């Protein structure tokens, strides 16, 4: 292993509960001098979330265990090109003497391009981390697919490395003919240890009793923002069609479709069999998953779907649409969960019936899912990211010394790397 210590800057829009465990692991590694630059502190500080439609501040620590800095945002803060405009990133990168810049910002934000051109001008390897797993747009506009087919091959070749978060993402990059040496796979993860520990503390019967439900009730859970691309109404309609005796459907989350869900549930005659929990903060979620039997993610746009990880870690079986990015890596139909064709509510209703037809099999699926997700951990993800950083930084240094373009491949032939 190279004896050198590598100075790395990660750039993120805001503190995200899923990324922080990886940042902490990266900061602990003796081979890395790891820093994070945040464009806003939304999430760690109370701020309005337009999709939840309320003020949100996560109730778990997000800023401890690693070095970070807040680069002031001069943009509007909304989801637009100039919503994130952080000019201070230019000076930070130019004067920071970093061996690599790891960018998690969208390329549709001004601050992404500030970071890219600053790193490029400094000769610093620029690595782009994306959870994209298909070219399908969130708003369903098909013309965007053709734009991506033309633009993405050019865009992704500009980066020293593209770090994808799933097998589906890797295959997509290959389909765009991105050179293999420029693709690295990381993992989209949550804090496995925290979720398992919190789930183990849950009194399942007590949580159910707080909802007025007993241990015999069959509970189906939807856990996400109530937005059109999440397709919560598909689940409501499938639940009604399935007609499972002694069953309740819970919606944990809030958003623009809440009123529509409540109105349709009433029209379908479901009454108290549908419960709206509203926004549920992080520390309360393990109890919700643990008390449920099945979690359904019916999204038509879901690059990965980290609620799948969360449910599996809490012993809750998962039914996912085939548009969910996590399906390929985590859900093996009939073994670690169920998969159905997106938008097909009849198929979803059948999956619900199948899941509750055999309680013993459902328990086996929950256990198998737990075994699978144990291997899909922040430690494995941090190790993959670190390896990609070291390969890229060593390769760039060798290319600079020898005046060649051989970067990653030459580094791989001369160095071996340990894992976190």
- pLDDT tens digits, one per residue of 71-122: 999 998 888 999 999 999 999 999 999 999 999 999 999 999 999 999 999 9
Q: What is the DSSP letter of 160?
A: S
Q: In this prediction, what percent of the chain has a pLDDT beyond 70?
A: 91
Q: So what's the pLDDT on residue 411?
A: 33
At what angle are helices 378-402 and 20-28 packed, to 10 degrees? 60
One DSSP character per residue, 297-322 reads E--SSBSS-HHHHHHHHTT-EEEEET
Q: Where are the alpha helices (DSSP H) in 243-377?
A: 258-267, 285-291, 306-313, 327-330, 345-357, 359-374
Measured between alpha carbons, how far is 279 from 310 in angstroms, rounded to an integer? 16
- Cβ contact 289:124 at 8 Å: no
User: pLDDT > 90: what percent of the chain?
Assistant: 83
Q: Give the range among 58-62, 200-204, 396-400 with minimum mean pLDDT.
A: 396-400
Decide if pLDDT at 53 tops 70.
Answer: no
Inform me whether the pLDDT recorded for 410 exceeds 80.
no
pLDDT at 393: 85
- DSSP element (H, E) containing 220: strand 218-223
Rounded to an integer, the average pLDDT of 247-257 is 96
Q: List, in order, residues 6 or more apart from 304 with CB less than 8 Å away.
A: 131, 133, 165, 166, 188, 324, 325, 326
Give the per-residue pLDDT at 48: 64
Residue 122 burial (10 A CB sphere; 0-12, 13-18, 19+): middle
Write down the pLDDT at residue 43. 84
Closest Cα to residue 196, out of 293, 313, 370, 308?
A: 313
pLDDT at position 140 = 84
Which H or E element spans position 6? strand 6-12
- Report helix, strand or coil for 42: strand
* Structure tokens given for 15: 């503190």
Give the number of other CB atoms < 10 A from CB of residue 241.
Answer: 15
> Distance between CA atoms of 92 and 284, rounded to whole angstroms?
37
Bigger pLDDT: 130 vs 393: 130
Residues 368, 309: Cα–Cα separation, whole Å: 13
Which strands sit side by side in the sheet containing 6-12, from one edge to the other? 67-70, 32-38, 6-12, 100-103, 126-130, 161-164, 183-185
Model pLDDT, residue 54: 65
Question: What does the pLDDT look like over 285-340, one tens digit per residue?
Answer: 999 999 999 999 999 999 999 999 999 999 999 999 999 999 999 999 999 999 99
Across residues 124-128, what is the average pLDDT?
97
DSSP, res 253? B
Mean pLDDT of the chain: 91
Beta bridge partners of 252: 223, 278
**Residue 46: its pLDDT value, please?**
73
Examine the pLDDT at 188 and tell me if it is beyond 60.
yes
47-49 and 54-56 beta bridge pairing: antiparallel
Q: 130: which DSSP letter?
A: E
């Amino acid at each position: 292993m190279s004896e050198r210590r590598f100075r790395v800057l990660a750039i993120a829009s805001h503190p995200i509960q899923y990324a922080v465990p990886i940042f902490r692991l990266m900061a602990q590694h003796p081979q890395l001098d790891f820093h994070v630059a945040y464009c806003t502190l939304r999430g760690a500080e109370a701020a309005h979330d337009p999709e939840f439609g309320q003020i949100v501040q996560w109730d778990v620590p997000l800023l401890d265990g690693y070095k970070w800095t807040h680069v002031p945002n001069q943009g509007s803060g909304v989801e637009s090109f100039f919503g994130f405009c952080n000019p201070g990133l230019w000076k930070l990168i130019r004067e920071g003497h970093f061996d690599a810049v790891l960018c998690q910002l969208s390329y549709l934000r001004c601050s992404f391009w500030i970071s890219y051109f600053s790193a490029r001008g400094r000769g610093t390897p620029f690595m782009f981390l994306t959870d994209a797993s298909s070219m399908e747009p969130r708003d369903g506009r098909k013309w965007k697919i053709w734009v991506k087919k033309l633009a993405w091959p050019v865009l992704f070749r500009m980066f020293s490395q593209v770090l994808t978060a799933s097998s589906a993402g890797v295959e997509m990059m290959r389909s765009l003919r991105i050179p293999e040496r420029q693709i690295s796979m990381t993992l989209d993860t949550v804090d496995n240890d925290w979720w398992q520990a919190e789930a183990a503390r849950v009194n399942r019967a007590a949580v159910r009793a707080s909802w007025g439900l007993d241990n015999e009730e069959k509970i189906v859970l939807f856990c996400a923002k109530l937005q059109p691309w999440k397709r919560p109404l598909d689940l409501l309609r499938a639940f009604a069609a399935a007609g499972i005796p002694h069953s309740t459907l819970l919606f944990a989350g809030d958003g623009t479709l809440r009123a529509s869900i409540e109105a349709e549930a009433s029209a379908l005659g479901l009454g108290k069999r549908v419960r709206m929990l509203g926004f549920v903060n992080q520390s309360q979620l393990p109890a919700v998953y643990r008390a449920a039997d099945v979690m359904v993610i019916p999204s038509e746009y879901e690059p990965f779907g980290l609620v799948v990880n969360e449910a599996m870690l809490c012993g809750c079986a998962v039914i996912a649409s085939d548009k969910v990015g996590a399906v390929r890596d985590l859900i093996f139909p009939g073994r670690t969960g169920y998969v159905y064709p997106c938008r097909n509510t009849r198929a979803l209703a059948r999956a619900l019936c199948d899941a509750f037809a055999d309680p013993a099999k459902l328990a086996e699926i929950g256990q198998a899912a737990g075994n699978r997700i144990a291997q899909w951990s922040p430690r494995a993800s941090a190790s993959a990211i670190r390896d990609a950083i070291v390969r890229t930084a060593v390769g760039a240094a060798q290319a600079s010394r020898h005046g060649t373009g051989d970067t990653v491949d030459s580094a791989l032939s001369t160095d071996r790397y340990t894992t976190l």
